[in-house]
């Protein structure tokens, strides 16, 4: 066997027994087309009072001006109430219309509207929320409409460098898709001991909150929740998602009890004399 033949033989053996490298996806289009109908936009409407209300002048008892000014300021107070709308994202997890989002997207809302990607709108009912984990569960009545829904993935299996896809409603632009990788795991943002976040460089902006972070199997591995954006400059590639394993446990309790029940220890710390 010549030297050239030996080199070719060794090269072929190394190809046959080496671990194949996973190719970079040529496109996410097929996966996005499948997942987008399950991602919703959420509009929360809150009635707020203007702070610039005038005070009713004080008149002596029985004054003819008293009733006049009361009627005038009552009308002015009604005019001072105005609706304030917030925008966020969410996703459907069951065919009967269970929707998951962040608590801060709907907190304090007087009315919650869920908007599908085909612009169909539903008024949502709040089933439960957990401010500490920043998770809320809504319910819509699909009537005769067939809803597309998504399932949970195992967030514990995600590794730094794995591909991720975020779909949501940033800045009111519903159906926006961004892609990136897992940048870090178990990030502590100082919000308490209940959630250690997945960090991703998939572009996330205001309005993405509550939307899903997918793996390449189309499974939800996180709920997009926060970003670091110095000077409110928008996405700089540092976004955070609640891991699916932590979120699904909270959501199961919210569906069952309407609240999250956590264990506690009857221990109190005091100084020793």
Residues designated as active site: 104, 134, 209
The DSSP symbol for 114 reads E
Tokens 């289009």 found at: 29
Residues 6+ apart with CB under 8 A from 151: 93, 219, 220
How far apart are alpha carbons 40 and 211 in whole angstroms?
Answer: 8
Both tokens of residue 139? 């319910």
Cβ density class 54-74: b for 16+ within 10 Å, e for less: eeeeeeeeeeeeeeeeeeebe
Q: Token pair 């892609």 is at which residue?
A: 179
Distance CA(166)–CA(204), nearest Å, equals: 8
C-alpha of 22 from chain center:
30
91 closest CA partner among 149, 51, 158: 149
Closest Cα partner for 40 from 140, 128, 110? 140
Cα 192–Cα 226–Cα 109 angle in degrees, nearest 5: 90
The residue count for the chain: 273
Place of tokens 């991720």: 164
- The residues near 32 (Cβ < 8 Å, ≥ 6 apart) are 165, 167, 177
């Amino acid at each position: 066997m010549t030297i050239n033949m030996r080199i070719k033989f060794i090269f072929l053996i190394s190809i046959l027994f080496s671990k194949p490298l996973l190719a970079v996806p040529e496109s996410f289009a097929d996966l996005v087309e499948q997942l987008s109908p399950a991602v919703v936009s959420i509009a929360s409407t809150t009635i707020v009072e203007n702070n610039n209300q005038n005070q009713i002048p004080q008149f002596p008892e029985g004054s003819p001006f008293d009733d006049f000014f009361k009627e005038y300021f009552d009308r002015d107070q009604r005019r001072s109430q105005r609706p304030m709308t917030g925008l966020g994202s969410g996703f459907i997890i069951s065919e009967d219309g269970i929707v998951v989002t962040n608590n801060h997207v709907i907190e304090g809302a007087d009315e919650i509207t869920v908007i599908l990607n085909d612009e169909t709108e539903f008024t949502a009912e709040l089933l439960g929320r957990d401010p500490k984990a920043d998770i809320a569960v809504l319910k819509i009545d699909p009537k005769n409409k067939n809803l597309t829904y998504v399932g949970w993935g195992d967030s514990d299996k995600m590794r730094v460098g794995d591909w991720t896809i975020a779909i949501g409603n940033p800045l009111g632009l519903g159906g926006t898709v961004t892609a990136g990788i897992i940048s870090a795991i178990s990030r502590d943002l100082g919000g308490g001991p209940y959630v250690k976040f997945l960090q991703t460089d998939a572009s996330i902006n205001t309005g993405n909150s509550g939307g899903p972070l997918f793996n390449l199997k189309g499974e939800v591995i996180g709920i997009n929740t926060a970003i670091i954006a110095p000077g409110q400059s928008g996405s700089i590639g540092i976004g955070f998602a609640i891991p699916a394993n932590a979120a699904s446990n909270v959501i199961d309790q919210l569906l069952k009890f309407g609240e999250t029940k956590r264990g506690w220890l009857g221990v109190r710390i005091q100084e020793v004399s």
